[in-house]
Amino acid sequence: MIVRIMGEGQLDVADEHIAALDLLDNAIESAVEADDEAAFRAALVALLDRVREVGTPVPDDVLEPSQLILPAADAHVDDVRELFKEGGLIPG
């Protein structure tokens, strides 16, 4: 799965990692629902760090459609709240 982190670029993440990423997505959703900025920030950073850890960078000169687009680490909780109205960051 090609994952784009806004402002950073794309990474190719093997399907075997998606379930673990979905758990981190659930933590973000819980923090957003609770309006807990500290928990939101920690969960978002954990998700992005995990994507960077398990993903292989897609070269900048390769154009691949992104199946998943994640907000940047400095995204505001209100912006991410809007994304959850569409079913979360990671569909599933």
Predicted local confidence at residue 80, as pLDDT: 83
* In contact, 54 and 6? CB cutoff 8 Å: no
Query: pTM of the prediction?
Result: 0.88
* In contact, 31 and 48? CB cutoff 8 Å: no
Predicted local confidence at residue 76, as pLDDT: 87
pLDDT in tens, 15-55: 999 999 999 989 998 999 899 999 999 999 999 999 999 99
Q: Distance between CA 26 and CA 33 in Å, rounded?
A: 10
pLDDT in tens, 49-92: 999 999 999 998 888 899 988 999 999 888 887 776 666 666 65
Predicted local confidence at residue 54, as pLDDT: 98
Q: How many CB atoms lie within 10 A of CB 26?
A: 15
Whether residue 9 has pLDDT greater than 60:
yes
* In contact, 40 and 80? CB cutoff 8 Å: yes
